[in-house]
Amino acid sequence: MKQIKKAVIPAAGFGTRFLPATKATPKEMLPIVDTPTIQYIVEEALASGIEELLIISGHGKRAIEDHFDSAPTLESVLEKKGKFDLLEKVRSTADINIYYIRQRYMRGLGDAILCAKAFMGDDPFAILLGDDVVYHPQRPALRQLIDIYEQTGGASVLGCQIVPDEKVSSYGIVSGDMTDNERLMRVNDMVEKPSIEDAPSRMAVLGRYIVTPTIFPLLEQTKPGKGGEIQLTDALRVLASQEPVFAYNFEGERYDLGDKLGFLRATVEFALRRDDLGDPFRDYLRELIPKL
């Protein structure tokens, strides 16, 4: 069984739900408190044992590359001013081994993942979607999936959680048979963004995947599906009919950054968890509550 050392982060989308903020700024660079959302994703990948990261970039996304690059002028100014804590923060994002490729046309998530084919070669790999940020104090969501990958002897694993009825039409929904592990399901079918009537369960895929390289020929054969886009879900469905695919109900607080309310929740809760901001921000919220 090969180890999971490579990951891909698709980041080519327009981010239309956050216009006008995303007109000239990649949505992945919008901050939760003071840190771009994509940095949380990259840090989760590294904390899970990933060593080589590929970001699927696109038009107007250069700020992402600049963010994960050195910044010599800024670094020397911070050094001269003795702002070593900030210097450390600026440098920390420059040390990571990140590769980039551009998705030239927006043909959907499946097509974006197909851009990773040459980079992944014959290796199984992880996929992390930037709209899903997961907080877990000890075990990053991706690490949990990699552990399951290893326990199952190298099967594909989809990171899932149960969502409420009104949310099933926003996600890929899986169905299958539960295993001895009450968090682990063997997938036998899945459907992209079904109506509530058509949803086979409430188990939604939430932006974390481990897949075998068999996914690439399947993606190449996948025709446009929901929304006229090449859907990763459609290729995974075929994969599940050919080899074992598991859905793991991962632990952790997950925030939907594709949604404005989800973004606000993330901002408030990440701020509350911060050593430097938590207490004064909590005091402010207490003052605010009676005025609501």
**Residues 78, 84, 89, 95: is their CA dihedral positive or negative?**
positive
Q: Which is nearer to ligand G1P, 74 or 264 (CB)?
A: 264
171 binds ligand G1P (CB under 6 A): yes
Nearest distance from residue 88's CB to ligand G1P, in Å?
32
114 binds ligand G1P (CB under 6 A): no
Which residues in the 179-238 window bind ligand G1P by CB under 6 A?
A: 192, 204-207, 231-233
Cβ atoms of 235 and 114 within 8 Å: the answer is: no
d(CA 279, CA 180): 42
Q: Which one of 55, 129, 174, 266 is in contact with ligand G1P (CB under 6 A)?
A: 129
Nearest distance from residue 180's CB to ligand G1P, in Å?
26
Cis omega (within 30 of 0) on the bond before 31?
A: no
Encoding tokens for residue 82?
Answer: 């003795």
Q: Which is nearer to ligand G1P, 128 or 148 (CB)?
A: 128
d(CA 281, CA 288): 10
Please identify which residue in the block is written with the tokens 């058509």.
198
Q: Which is nearer to ligand G1P, 78 or 127 (CB)?
A: 127
Nearest distance from residue 195's CB to ligand G1P, in Å?
15
**Residues 273, 263, 138, 90: is their CA dihedral positive or negative?**
negative
Q: Which is nearer to ligand G1P, 78 or 130 (CB)?
A: 130
Nearest distance from residue 226's CB to ligand G1P, in Å?
8
Q: Which is nearer to ligand G1P, 146 or 257 (CB)?
A: 257
Nearest distance from residue 129's CB to ligand G1P, in Å?
5
Q: Which one of 8, 42, 109, 120 is in contact with ligand G1P (CB under 6 A)?
A: 109
Residues near ligand G1P (CB under 6 A), total? 15
Please identify which residue in the block is written with the tokens 């992209």.
192
C-alpha 209, offset from chain centre? 9
d(CA 164, CA 154): 31
258 binds ligand G1P (CB under 6 A): yes
d(CA 162, CA 205): 9
Encoding tokens for residue 131?
Answer: 């709209």
Nearest distance from residue 235's CB to ligand G1P, in Å?
11
Cα distances (angstroms) measured from residue 6 to each of 83, 95, 99, 244:
34, 17, 11, 20
Residue 18, C-beta contacts closer than 8 angstroms, at least 6 positions apart: 27, 30, 260, 263
Q: Which one of 131, 148, 176, 185 is in contact with ligand G1P (CB under 6 A)?
A: 131
Q: Which is nearer to ligand G1P, 101 or 232 (CB)?
A: 232
What is the DSSP code (8-state) at residue 10? E
Binding mask 4-33 for ligand G1P (x = CB under 6 A): ------------------------------
Residues that bind ligand G1P (CB under 6 A): 109, 129, 131-132, 171-172, 192, 204-207, 231-233, 258
